[in-house]
Chain A
Amino acid sequence: MIIKSLTVRFGAFTAVDDVTLEVPPGSIVGLVGESGSGKSTLARAVSGLVPYTGEIIGAGRRRVQMVFQDPYASLDPRMRVGASVAEGVRLSRAARRVEVERLLSLVSLPAELAGRYPRELSGGQRQRVAIARALGARPDLLVADEITSALDVSVQGAVLNLVRELRAELGLSVLFISHDLAVVRYVCDVIAVLHRGRLVEVGTTDEVVGSPRAAYTRALLEAVPRLGRR
């Protein structure tokens, strides 16, 4: 999928400015930037939730699905897990139940969770449900917007592992958005750095982390907290 000259304006303010970015099939592209850099706006534009100018080539509507940052807000509190996961599934009633079980097992959740309400689930489990719901539409591209930043550290690892496993098993393409460079480095093949709505650097993870070209990327890398560096 290719994002071509994508621009998002809110009135006079340009949130995303002429961004061109390719997400090759089966790869995870990381998008990093600070708050206000436009990364969440870009995610919403790619997902069709915000009007934009420019082109998105190679992914139709419903072929892009997004997983949101806050798993406490992205599941309907009055809808059972099974019904939430089934929302994107276009199958007969009987086939749908089987598909929901398959989707839940894809994200390593037991099938009996389908009958529960979100409030009975932990944050990590909710985020898995949100991922399962997105996978139900068989997307060409999964947009993951800060999917671990509302989770506790001990759960974050499992969700990151899941994203990598899904890519390996399903050949899923992912646009992975995060402010945390260590997380992006672990998950992504390519890293794109967004600063004030513009892409300042795109390259493979090794290139960007190992020999950053943009000054802004260097500042970001320098600011990553490291255990025991004092």
Chain B
Amino acid sequence: MRHLLRTPAGLAGASLVALMVVLAVAGPPIWGAAAERIDPAALLQGSSAAHSLGTDSLGRDLLARVLVAGRLSLALAALATLIGAAAGIVLGALPSVLPRRAARLVTGTVNALVAFPGLLLAMFTAVVVGLGARGAVLGVGAAIAPGFARLTQTLAASVARADYVAAARMLGVPRRRVLTAHVLPNVAEPLILHLTQALGGALLGLAGMSFLGLGVQPPSFDWGRLLFDGFARIYATPAVAVGPAVAVALAGVGFNLLGDALARAASRTGPPARGPAAPVASENRSPGEPDARAVLEVRDLTVTFPGGVTPVRGLSLTVAPGEIVGLVGESGSGKSLTAAAIGGLVPYPGTVRAARLRLCGADLGELTAERRRRLLGTSLAMVFQDPMASLNPALRIGGQLAEVAVVHQGASRAEAAARAVDRLGHVHVPEPDRRARQHPHELSGGMRQRAVIAMGLMGTPRLIIADEPTTALDVTVQRQILHLLRRATEETGAATLFISHDIAVVGELCHRVVVMYAGRVVEDLPVEGLATAAAHPYTRALIASLPDMDTDTSQPLASIPGRQPPPGEVGSGCAFAPRCPLAGEQCAEAPPLLPYGTDHHVACWKAT
């Protein structure tokens, strides 16, 4: 609810709707007498001090009549919406329970009704039922129903494809019960949101019907009726038509704004996204002398989101040329956000802080935005899990690769295109000149990932960041991509940061392994020691819980009890302590990452 009132549109909508409700409740008791008082001395007046909106043909005050008409207008609109929604939801839900042939008939009817203009449907119904409020309400209800039916049908169809509905079918749950227990509860929320907006529409529709003379008949009056009466005099005394028109407009706008705001709050989309966060130097920590040899040097990197959510906490990492470093962790450990922070891709509203963030000897925090963009564009290549995240589906592969050379290296179109074909061949894409002319959807997942790597190799990258590049691929293709990454690293002398949840893949590809848990590095060791010399209890448990081709099948697999704390709930102590068999009192304080043998660092009080 607080969310709802935070946006100006939501606030305006909620206030307008609240105002309308107050008017509907309090209007008739307060102004009812004034609205009915006939004054033969003041017939058909325009705006004056006594009657700010003028008077009608019987000398009744129009301001009072507008304020009183609110109750009838809103009540009729609510009734029409309820009738339309009820009819629509039943029509929309029927196909899920009826036998196939009857379901098709209902669907066809709904399709035909949706295609029919709403106003025509409303007028037709009103004429059949008879002039007056009842006809208008049923007419508007009939106009609203097809929209509801279509929405219900679409929503129900998407829920019907869910795995939990398949599970219920397998368990022999009857169709009617599937509808009431699974489908309707899961479509209720969007339908209720749609209801608010439909209410605004019904209000306008009813006003329209009354205005056409098809709705409320005298002596009753709603806003549409008042507008109808005032319209004839609009050139002589415009004020008499303005009152009801403004009332209808405000109510319609109010319900629509509130409906929009509710829908947005329900889908939990935040405020519109802004650009990614630039790194900010964190204050009062001396990171020591920079490592001149390193391609990438990160000291004390922290990524924070509002609300105390800190997915990366004081991470330090150094990658040397030609080195492949594996960053391993479970989902939620902060490994992908670490990569995003290095590439300047942390989404708004995240903030990135680091005592040092150096790429190729340049401090990213100190560069201007333009120079940082150029440095990242020429020396960093990123490969993501989903190659379609890096490829534009509307453009040909070759053109997209060439773009890199044109923008960042100032190559001519022809040179760039030739280089694109060359690079595609280099990553073993068969028939590279034909593939270059194809669109991404014409390539298999493995081929697309090759194209993305080729895109990274268009320049001379100093650092390749690969974030779960093989997770979506088959094992045989995964193996080829791993080979390719290793060869690319060897040939270019670039450093590679390979991010994965799969410690076996990391063990096969990388020189050094960095293990993350709940935003911190818990261990950093050479890959040779991974299977036998890991010192942190988490690393050991991770390796023990992973079956490989030599696991003893007569023993149960090791598993770690509990779960990793989410980024908002990490305490000040060792985050692994609640799951750790070795945990003691000391673990209430977070252990620092300390040297442990050669090239090996561990953050654990119990590692000895």
A residues touching B (Cβ–Cβ < 8 Å)?
Answer: 34-35, 47-49, 61-62, 64-66, 68, 70, 73-79, 83-84, 87-88, 122, 124, 130, 133-134, 136-137, 152-158, 160-161, 164, 179-183, 185-186, 205, 209, 219-230
Q: Are B504 and A73 in contact (CB under 8 A)?
A: no
Q: Are A73 and B163 in contact (CB under 8 A)?
A: yes
* In the complex, chain B residues 132-182 whose Cβ is within 8 Å of any chain A Cβ: 162-164, 166-173, 181-182
Neighbouring A residues of B528 by C-beta, 8 Å: 228
**Any chain A CB within 8 A of the CB of B545?**
yes
* In the complex, chain B residues 317-335 whose Cβ is within 8 Å of any chain A Cβ: 330-331
Q: Are A220 and B475 in contact (CB under 8 A)?
A: yes
The winner among A49, A153, A181, A220 for most chain B CB atoms within 10 A is A153
Measured in the bound complex, the distance between the Cα atoms of B167 and A47 in whole Å is: 10
Q: Are A153 and B508 in contact (CB under 8 A)?
A: no
In the complex, besides A68-B166, A153-B330, 19 extra interface pairs with C-beta distance below 8 angstroms are A35-B474, A68-B163, A76-B164, A87-B173, A130-B167, A152-B331, A154-B545, A157-B544, A182-B546, A186-B557, A209-B549, A219-B476, A224-B549, A225-B475, A225-B502, A226-B504, A226-B548, A226-B549, A227-B530
Residue of A nearest to B548 (CB): A182
Measured in the bound complex, the distance between the Cα atoms of B162 and A74 in whole Å is: 7
Neighbouring B residues of A34 by C-beta, 8 Å: 474-477
Q: Are A228 and B527 in contact (CB under 8 A)?
A: yes
* Known pairs A66-B170, A225-B505, A230-B508; A154 contacts B475 (CB<8 A): no
Q: How far is the CB of B50 from chain A (nearest CB, A)?
A: 58
User: Could you count the A-B residue pairs with CB atoms below 8 Å apart for me: how many are there?
Assistant: 171
Residue of B nearest to A221 (CB): B549
Neighbouring A residues of B558 by C-beta, 8 Å: 157
- Among A65, A76, A226, contact of B508 (Cβ-Cβ < 8 Å): A226
Q: Are B503 and A88 in contact (CB under 8 A)?
A: no
The winner among B182, B475, B530, B549 for most chain A CB atoms within 10 A is B475
Residue of A nearest to B472 (CB): A35
Neighbouring A residues of B548 by C-beta, 8 Å: 182, 224, 226-227
* Known pairs A65-B171, A223-B475; A154 contacts B504 (CB<8 A): no
* Known pairs A62-B170, A122-B563; A226 contacts B501 (CB<8 A): no
Q: How far is the CB of B533 from chain A (nearest CB, A)?
A: 11
Q: Are B504 and A79 in contact (CB under 8 A)?
A: no
**Any chain A CB within 8 A of the CB of B35?**
no
Neighbouring A residues of B542 by C-beta, 8 Å: 153-154
Q: Are B503 and A153 in contact (CB under 8 A)?
A: yes
Q: Are A49 and B170 in contact (CB under 8 A)?
A: yes
- Among B182, B330, B553, contact of A152 (Cβ-Cβ < 8 Å): B330
* Known pairs A70-B163, A223-B476; A47 contacts B546 (CB<8 A): no
Q: Are A185 and B553 in contact (CB under 8 A)?
A: yes
Neighbouring B residues of A130 by C-beta, 8 Å: 167
Q: Are A161 and B556 in contact (CB under 8 A)?
A: yes
Neighbouring A residues of B77 by C-beta, 8 Å: none
**Any chain A CB within 8 A of the CB of B385?**
no
Measured in the bound complex, the distance between the Cα atoms of B167 and A64 in whole Å is: 11
Q: Are B531 and A186 in contact (CB under 8 A)?
A: no
Measured in the bound complex, the distance between the Cα atoms of B181 and A156 in whole Å is: 31
Measured in the bound complex, the distance between the Cα atoms of B541 and A170 in whole Å is: 29
**Any chain A CB within 8 A of the CB of B186?**
yes
Neighbouring A residues of B505 by C-beta, 8 Å: 225
Neighbouring A residues of B166 by C-beta, 8 Å: 49, 66, 68
Measured in the bound complex, the distance between the Cα atoms of B322 and A112 in whole Å is: 53
Measured in the bound complex, the distance between the Cα atoms of B479 and A179 in whole Å is: 14
Q: Are B171 and A186 in contact (CB under 8 A)?
A: no
